[in-house]
Amino acid sequence: MKYASEIIELMSAKPERDFRMVEIIRRINPQASTVKKHSLRTTIIRAVNLLADTGAILIKPATKSGSYALYRWVHKT
């Protein structure tokens, strides 16, 4: 799963924090062009959805048009 390790590293370091997709993209490739960002977003969404299916990530969908989804690492104790 491409970029899964970067996503896990970023989100597990701060499990109490919600992340926007743009923050994840910037962490993986801070100097990506617009075209590359779209490609990254697609790949990251696939990885995040797979991690969400395993219960590692909680996804809070966008609440209204124009807003954004939030992603949070699930801290299990």
Q: Residue 18's domain spans which residues? A: 4-73
Write the DSSP symbol of residue 72. E
Q: Residue 1 has what pLDDT?
A: 77
Q: What is the CATH number of the domain that holds 46?
A: 1.10.10
Mode of pairing for the β-strands spanning 57-60 and 18-19 = unpaired
Model pLDDT, residue 77: 55
Cα–Cα distance between 31 and 64 in angstroms, integer?
29
pLDDT 10s digits, 15-29: 999 999 999 999 999
- DSSP 8-state symbol, 30: T
The tally of domains found in the chain comes to 1
Q: Is the pTM of this model over 0.85?
A: yes
